[in-house]
Amino acid sequence: MADTFLITTTTTTPATAKRNRPDDETETKKKLMTPSPQNIFTDPAAALASTRHEFGEHGGVNMSIEASATFTVMEPETLRRIFTGELGPDSDYYVYSRHFNPTVLNLSRLMASLEGTEAAYCTASGMSAISASILQLTKSGGHVVASRTLYGGTHALLQHFLPRTCNITTTFVEISDIESVDEAIIEGKTNVLYFESVSNPTLTVANIPELSRIAHKKGVTVVVDNTFTPMVISPVKLGADVVVHSISKFVSGGADIIAVV
């Protein structure tokens, strides 16, 4: 459940808030930073409103942007516990921003709430998330069934790069033709069914429940790119296993960010 990922073991309040604000206000801030235990993930807007809210370093209403690549650890024993997994980002322990930093972790929590998923992981670009997802779910000799109406970079990855470098092949299908999709999925060979909830740029709408049903019947993982329809469509609730977003589109709202989750 998504709330398992979002609830943290500790809550932190900015040092300035502790010094300058009455105790009751500090307690209010702590409550705001802790998500509601209720499972309200049927509504993306309500889920976002309920997610742990991080305040800025000096009490700002918005979270501060973390610019550090590395983080300070004062005690060797603490570092050992971090590397063995005893301590981590949910306990406010960080080592290197490529893994996690407070800004990225907060975005991950929000995106997990938005999609109603157990967790979310942010990467540097949309293609990095798509590549990571497919490479995690397949191996050399693997097979993907994908919609023929995809973002150009995704199509190039599946048609040219993965066959040449990883021996992973893709069968492209008309995603609205459920019978053709079913025939293309080879039980025991196909690893992933990949499509976009609403395709970029042709706006083909996928039947996520039916596509998920036929894929799962044959043991295939469903990966959905939901870039065009955050807040509108929730693929996991409709049967998808993995959801990817390029947040340079509707999530950022201004085409001024390259990142993905």
Q: Which pLDDT does position 256 carry in this prediction?
A: 64
Q: Which pLDDT does position 163 carry in this prediction?
A: 97
User: What tens digit of pLDDT does each residue of 196-223 get?
Assistant: 999 988 999 999 999 999 999 999 999 9
Per the structure block, which two tokens stand in for 175? Answer: 């995603």
Residues 171 and 101 in one domain: no
Residues 52 and 148 in one domain: no
Q: Which pLDDT does position 35 carry in this prediction?
A: 44
Do the strands 221-225 and 190-196 form a parallel or antiparallel pair, or are they unpaired? parallel
Residues 173 and 204 in one domain: yes
> In the chain, which stretches have pLDDT less than 70?
1-42, 254-261
The reply to whether 121 falls in a domain is no
Q: Which pLDDT does position 260 carry in this prediction?
A: 56
Do the strands 143-147 and 190-196 form a parallel or antiparallel pair, or are they unpaired? parallel
Q: Which pLDDT does position 190 carry in this prediction?
A: 98
Per the structure block, which two tokens stand in for 36? Answer: 């509601």
One DSSP character per residue, 120-167 reads ---BSSHHHHHHHHHHHH--TT-EEEEESS--HHHHHIIIIIHHHHH-
The residue among 38, 43, 33, 32 whose CA lies nearest residue 105 is 33
Residues 136 and 228 in one domain: yes
Domain that holds residue 162: 126-244
Q: Could you give the CA distance from residue 63 to residue 105 in angstroms, rounded to a whole number?
A: 11
Q: Which pLDDT does position 211 carry in this prediction?
A: 98
Residues 14 and 96 in one domain: yes
Q: Residue 193: in which H helix or E strand, if any?
A: strand 190-196
Q: Which pLDDT does position 48 carry in this prediction?
A: 78
Q: Which pLDDT does position 6 carry in this prediction?
A: 28
